[in-house]
Structure 1
Amino acid sequence: LDGLAETDWTDATDMDGAQVAVADYRPDWWPTATRLLIRRVRLAPEQVSADPRSRRRRTLHPDQRALPISELTTADAVYGYSFIMTNLDVSTPEQAAAVEHWYRHRTQIENIFRDSKLGAALRHLPSGYPQVNKAWMWGALLAVSIAGWLHQLTATPGPGGRLAGWGVRDGQAMIATLRHRLIRVPARLVRHAGALKLRLPPGHYLLDEVLARIRRLPATS
């Protein structure tokens, strides 16, 4: 990082506040064509946890990582860094941005499979029969799709009109979190003023919001 100048950074593709650069660093034991691609994302101090075990805090520059939160707020800029080893062509800033964008989407796909393992029981196939395992797999992937639809129902427009779903991880809460906040919710179905109403316990505003958005969807024939 110390060998990079501000002019070496170029804006990342489809990621607000992010920039990419290619470092000259390459140990002798790396394959000849390997390059080090670096992405940095500008963070607000309140986005950084005081817990040194925090994943985001561990992405800060070592000098900033050592600072207490009170001093971090006075820094000119706070960045989180990610490093990618690649043998793809990153010889120009445009190529570097395109390669980083490609790797980022690969990571998103891997996160979906990780979420399906942790939240939709895809980590274990239950049978010795391929047909049973195939049905199990499709059920897990259907659960992932339903989670995506729930994010759409709770989404809010961001910069440029892009929708951000509910929760942390840039608006992509894990399936287990959505299950806890939307599905495993105790409620009472009561009749009031001649109409049925679903009464939720205090604090479950997300389910209220989802139900309201479902009711506003246009009717289909």
Structure 2
Amino acid sequence: MGVTPVNGGRGRGRIVIGENDPSLTRYAGLAVTGELARRLRLVELIDAELSVERRARPVKVRRRGVSPGQLVVSIAESQLVGGEFFSDLEEVRADQAGAGLRTVGATPSAPAALQRSKDFRRVHCQRVERACARVGEHLDRALGREREEPVTIDLDATGIEVFGRRKQGAARNRQGQMSYAPHVAFWAQRGRALTSELVGGNREKLSGTECARIATRALSLLPAGHGPAIFRIDSAYYQLELLARLRREGSPFTVSVPRSQAMWKALAEIPEDAWQDAIDMPGAQVAETTYRPQGWKHEPLRLIVRRVPFTAAEIAKRNGSRRLKTIHPEQLELALDGKLASVFGYSFILTDIHWQPTVWIEHFHRHRAQIEERLKESKLGQALRHLPSGDEHANRVWLTAALLALNLTAFCCDLCPAAGASGKAPDNAPLRRAAKTLRNLMFTIPARIVRTGRRLILRPPAGYRHGDVLKTTLDAIYALGP
């Protein structure tokens, strides 16, 4: 005869919510960016840059509360842990236990952050970009990177749909959506945003003067003595004034050229035996000719053409796809009518790089997709999927903070053993980890804070699988020195 448990017929009883534990933090992993920002003097450099700006009124005069640099960094920290609105700063602000771990312990309230963001002007955001560039230079120097390494700068834009008629500066894009269009220049090798410009959604294509201004600003943010800087440019930036400015600056370029009658005419000049297989793109072929854009006062430029075959069946499946626009309109019509079994889609790349073979240039320019990945990461991984304020100046600060958060994750990946950029990761590890992955690895882990002597100990919960990654990353930060 078995023994009957005394409480065998009962459940586990009611769940009772106890008192908050003041030693527990929701965001223990912000210690990583906190320690990194302190060693690189991020807040101090932002405030120093803002203090010398004379083209606009100071963001803040009184010393009470957080400084302008602390404001921008606190918004970025909120975005790092998943914040999507100004109101999400309250979640970080409420984490008093983790205040000493963060870069900005005294996180401002949401209303205060929004109100102060409205006092920023475009030139102030550009000062933040300059400070971030100085921080990146400091990190590269600490990691022993060669300053003379070649630099690739990617220019591209993205659309951010917003809602409401009171969104200052927003406009309807080609699809009729109310939106903004941030234009961003990225340093490809580092995965960092250099500079940005926020305009209405109806200006996804900027004037030549505006394009040249962004390119010049991006070049000015590179470290002194940097290696040759090559620009990879989207077709929306195909402007003669931009190309002329890059020539004056001594920066070579590759630029996607819109398909036009001039391009189809140039294509007809390429003999069939000139085509050769592309690198790492099965079925694709490349060839080249020369082309001089109207108004270009220098030598004829190299026009690299890539062609990709499409069967009639593939075309039928892709009906409405953007890739069908790469096919010559007459050829596409014949294929749709069943009069051709296959046709080619063409892409055109204009360049002044004369020392590299055709296939290298096409392969190099194709990797412009890296900026699309970084822009996607800023929207899906960080908080750039929308711009939350009705005030254009506050939205520009939000954009600046989102790109700062993106750069902070790039800095972390330079040190984190789970990312290939650190040089310590397994061979199959991605170069940089996505924001969601970094949150799971580090940023959003809870931990109990134990203070003993001069040490501060973080005790993550049982089952946390990435303790070695967190410890090694912090050790790498401490190795940078004070």
Counterpart position of 2:478 = 215
**The one of 155, 170, 178 aligned to 2:430:** 170
Residue from 307, 326, 335 that aligns with 1:36: 307
Residue equivalent to 2:372: 110
Normalized against structure 1, the TM-score is what? 0.54
**Where in structure 2 are the equivalents of 1:190-209 lying within 5 Å?**
190-191=450-451, 195-201=455-461, 202-204=464-466, 205-209=468-472
Q: 1:175 to 1:85 in 2, by over 3 A?
A: farther
CA distances 1:39-72 after superposition (whole Å, capped 9, x unpaired): xxxxxxxxxxxxxxxxxxxxxxxxxxxxxxxxxx
Deviation at 1:203, TM superposition (A): 1.3
Tell me the CA shift for residue 165 of structure 1: 7.7
Matched, 1:141 2:390: no
Unaligned 5+ runs, structure 2: 1-275, 287-303, 310-344
Aligned-partner Cα distance in 1 for 2:419–2:435:
21
Aligned twin of 1:128: 390
1:8-36 CA distances to partner (integer Å, 9 max, x unpaired)? 657x5xxxxx5788538xxxxxxxx9532
Residue deviations 1:148-193 (CA, integer Å, cap 9, x gap): 00101115897xxx75586977222111211221110111222458
2:92: which partner in 1? none
Give the Å deviation of 1:107. 0.7
Looking at structure 2, the residues matched to 144 and 150 of structure 1 have their Cα atoms a distance apart, in angstroms, of 10
Task: Say whether 1:184 aligns with 2:447.
Answer: no
Distance in 2 between residues matched to 1:37 and 1:169, nearest whole Å = 30
SS in 2 for 1:121: coil
2:378 touches 2:403 (CA, 8 Å); kept in 1?
yes
Pair 1:23–1:118, CA change in 2 (3 A): same
1:128 Cα offset (Å):
2.6
Give the TM-score of the pair, scaled to structure 2. Answer: 0.27
What amino acid is the match of 2:408? Answer: I
Query: C-alpha separation between the residues in 1 aligned to 2:399 and 2:435?
Result: 16
Aligned length: 148
Give the letter for the 1:177 counterpart.
Answer: T
The answer for the alignment partner of 2:348 in structure 1 is 87
Rounded to whole Å, the distance in 2 between the matches of 1:179 and 1:9 is: 41
> Which 5+ residue runs of structure 1 have no aligned equivalent?
1-7, 13-17, 25-32, 39-83
Superposition pairs of residues 72-83 of structure 1, within 5 angstroms: none
RMSD: 3.8
Q: Does 1:151 align with 2:384?
A: no
Q: Which amino acid aligns with 2:358?
A: Q
Larger RCO of the pair (alpha carbons < 8 Å, separation 6+): 2
SS of equivalent to 2:349: coil
Report the CA distance shift for 1:118/1:169 in structure 2 as closer, same or farther (over 3 A): farther
CA 156–98 in structure 1, closer or farther in 2 if over 3 Å, else same: farther
Secondary structure at the counterpart of residue 378 of structure 2: helix
**Residues 35, 140 of structure 1: CA spacing in aligned structure 2 closer, same or farther, 3 A cutoff?**
same
Q: Deviations over 1:101-140 (max 9, x none)?
A: 1220x21111111000012110111123211110110011
In the alignment, the residues of structure 2 paired with residue 197 and residue 114 of structure 1 have an alpha-carbon distance, to the nearest angstrom, of: 36
Partner letter of residue 362 of structure 2?
V
Contact 1:21–1:96 (Cα < 8 Å) also in 2: no
